[in-house]
Amino acid sequence: MKQCFVVTTTKRLDSLLASLLNLSRVKVVKLIMNGQIKVNEKLTFKNSLIVAKDDVIKVEIHDETTSDFITSVEPYNLKLEVLFEDKDLMVINKPSGLLTHPTTFNEKASLLAACIFHNNKNPVYLVHRLDRDTSGAIVVCKNQASLLNLQNQLQNRTLKRYYVALVHFPFNALTGSINAPLARVNNNKVMFKIAQTAKAKQAITKFKVINQNEKAALISLELLTGRTHQIRVHLKFIQHPVYNDPLYGIKSEKKDSYGQFLHANRICFIHPTLNKPMDFHAPLEPKFSTKLKSLNLSLTDPLHVLFK
């Protein structure tokens, strides 16, 4: 199997190939280490290589090793809440509890598998990801040209993502910005922490209080960077952890199977082929709304009105 890509934006080689090939970073690194990736006609063995606009990447996966690297995601028949769809992309309201992409355990049920089924079993590509228990708007492309365009927008911050979170304790300041770099917790493959180390990555989150009382607050958030678990770690850092968060929440809190009350409620971007602004709002899940009411934090206006 041979594929060739022209880079449209500066990015790490392993991260870019993971998106283009729908592979995990682990499998992409194996391809690179096995000498199956060329950049501008030169073999590279550096997965952290930064590729730039107009660089040419060639991928060659030998027939006898294809199965070692490409574990195809099988289509999975699952009803999707489609907010928008055309020949280039889909915007989906992902439910809480659904993986965006299969893990190394190759789970059958995932958003990616469901989108492949929905797309007449043709390939689709994830522009970004949401944690399993984070619900809300996510963009899925039907071709690699649209994927590269939207990933370029993501890097240049013309693709904007907004969230709502239910958090513990009221705020003093009703608006603010959290600028705190993130790194993995030592000897932990899952969790992240605030860190001032060479490996820490810049992370910036803006927030605004929508409603609050003496126990809790409903806040809106905008991601200015897109690090794994960014919102959840940042909110723990400022001592307003997300309700029901199994990793970063209050340990004494009695939690249920729903997961963290975090929802990607809005996404905005320029359509990759129509070149016009797109703006989508994803409704809250019923359980999220019920939780708000139980804490006397019912919305006075629908989210799409609040976020105009």
Among 69, 93, 114, residue at a domain's last position:
69
Residues 167 and 239 in one domain: yes
Which parts of the chain register pLDDT below 50? 64-70
Helices and strands in the chain: count of H runs, count of E runs: 8, 18
The answer to whether 269 and 188 are in contact (CB under 8 A) is no
- The per-residue pLDDT for range 22-73, each reduced to its tens digit, is 777 778 888 898 888 999 999 999 988 999 989 999 998 765 444 444 456 8
Task: Output the six-digit token pair for 219.
Answer: 């806040």
CATH at residue 87: 3.30.70.580
| Within-domain flag for 232 | yes
Residues 187 and 57 in one domain: no
CA-nearest of 303, 182, 289 to 231 is 182
**52 with 18, same domain?**
yes
pLDDT at 65: 47
Structural domain of 38: 2-69
Q: List the CATH number of the domain containing 262.
A: 3.30.2350.10
Whether residue 74 lies inside any domain: the answer is no
Q: φ, ψ for residue 289 (rounded to 5)?
A: -60, -40
CATH number for position 45: 3.10.290.10
Rounded Cα gap, residues 145 and 11, in angstroms:
16
Contact 117, 79 (CB under 8 A): no
Whether residue 55 sits in one domain with residue 103: no
Domain shared by 175 and 129, yes or no: no
- In the residue annotation, 55 being an active-site residue is answered as no
Q: What are phi and psi of 113, to 5 degrees?
A: -65, -40
d(CA 101, CA 113): 8
- What is the domain count for the chain? 3
Q: Let me know if residue 56 belongs to a domain.
A: yes
**Where is the domain boundary, 15, 46, 69?**
69
pTM score, whole prediction: 0.83
Dihedral sign, CA of 145, 150, 151, 156?
Answer: positive
The active-site residue, picked from 131, 133, 256, 279, is 131
Token pair for residue 288?
């999220």
Same domain, 122 and 36: no
Judge if 24 and 92 occupy the same domain: no
Q: Does residue 154 lie in a domain region? A: no
